[in-house]
């Protein structure tokens, strides 16, 4: 894997946005493997495809690339808000690759793989409509709030210019599949519970620790009048999926 961009690809381009698109997409096409099955390359879809940018010719999984020069661990711009929400609800969204690159050294600094099953509507932020003077007046885009995705769903392929081990990444992706939940409402609860577990600084935690988030869950899920029972149910699901381990007397241990 070569972290440097092939700047010869942009010698005929003047627009900075076009240069960025050509360089980053060309880099993925030439350097990136499939983090799901390990196939040695990803293929580029035809231009302007509305759903995904790349696909694996082996397992057929689809990927969308988002890149910029800023911190991709906070938020990143995406397309039309309503389209994104529909994709998440219908479970038709692709996996994502979030890239941070340098436009001085022209190289990849960070690349994060986020599996599709970590996406819920709550991590999609609606942007303000474009002004009436804009070419697409009234158009409403969105941001993906990467910082609201559980850490288990942010898998670094490149971190601060260091290439992570491919075998470890594929194994980690396979483990993350334990969290696949098709029902969007159930997925929302599971992701919120997981985020709260991640906020507990110790490897071992108790049911009482989770009850400390009760007010947060009441505000998040207004229609649920039995939050403590829901917390226990979600912990059982995470236990059954081997994400946490029950060690007795209302205590748990993080496994993943």
- Tell me, what CATH number does 79's domain have? 3.40.210.30
Q: Calculate the average pLDDT of the chain.
A: 93
- Please, what sign has the CA dihedral across residues 57, 55, 85, 132? negative
Least confident of 83-87, 192-196, 229-233: 83-87
Residue 50: pLDDT band by 50, 70, 90 thresholds? low
Q: How confident is the model at residue 82 (pLDDT cuts 50, 70, 90)?
A: very high
Among residues 109, 57, 49, 105, which one has the least CA distance to residue 79? 49
Angular region, 242: left φ>0, alpha ψ -120 to 50, beta rest: left
Number of folded domains that form the chain: 2
228-256 mean pLDDT: 96
Q: Given 177, 204, 231, which residue is the final one in a domain?
A: 177
Specify if 33 maps to a domain: yes
Arithmetic mean of pLDDT, 105-130:
96
- Domain assignment present for residue 217? The answer is yes
pLDDT of residue 49: 62
**Residue 16 in domain:** yes
Q: How confident is the model at residue 47 (pLDDT cuts 50, 70, 90)?
A: low
| pLDDT 10s digits, 126-155 | 999 999 888 889 999 999 999 999 999 999
The whole domain housing 248 covers: 184-254
* Model confidence at 233: pLDDT above 70: yes
Q: Tell me whether residue 1 is in a domain.
A: no
The interaxial angle of helices 184-199 and 227-240, nearest 10 deg, is 90
> Are 248 and 167 members of one domain?
no
Given a cut of 70, whether residue 20 has pLDDT beyond it is yes
What's the pLDDT tens digit per position in 166-201?
999 999 999 999 999 999 989 999 999 999 999 999
Within 10 Å of residue 137's Cβ, how many Cβ atoms? 10
């Amino acid at each position: 894997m070569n972290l440097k961009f092939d700047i010869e690809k942009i010698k005929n381009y003047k627009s900075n946005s076009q240069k960025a698109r050509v360089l980053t997409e060309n880099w993925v096409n030439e350097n990136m493997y499939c983090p799901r099955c390990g196939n040695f390359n990803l293929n580029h879809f035809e231009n302007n495809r509305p759903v995904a940018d790349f696909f694996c010719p082996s397992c057929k999984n689809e990927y969308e690339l988002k890149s910029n020069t800023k911190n991709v661990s906070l938020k990143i711009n995406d397309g039309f808000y309503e389209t994104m929400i529909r994709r998440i609800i219908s479970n038709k969204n692709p996996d994502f690759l979030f890239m941070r690159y340098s436009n001085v050294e022209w190289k990849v600094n960070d690349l994060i793989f986020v599996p599709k099953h970590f996406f819920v509507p709550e991590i999609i932020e609606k942007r303000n409509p474009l002004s009436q003077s804009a070419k697409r007046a009234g158009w409403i885009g969105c941001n993906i709030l990467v910082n609201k995705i559980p850490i288990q769903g942010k898998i670094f392929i490149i971190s601060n210019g260091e290439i992570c081990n491919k075998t470890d990444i594929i194994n980690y992706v396979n483990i993350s599949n334990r969290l696949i939940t098709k029902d969007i409402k159930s997925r929302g609860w599971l992701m919120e519970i997981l985020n709260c577990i991640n906020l507990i600084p110790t490897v071992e935690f108790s049911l009482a620790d989770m009850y400390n988030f009760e007010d947060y869950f009441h505000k998040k899920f207004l229609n649920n009048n039995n939050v403590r029972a829901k917390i226990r149910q979600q912990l059982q699901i995470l236990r059954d999926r081997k994400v946490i381990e029950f060690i007795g007397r209302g205590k748990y241990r993080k496994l993943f």
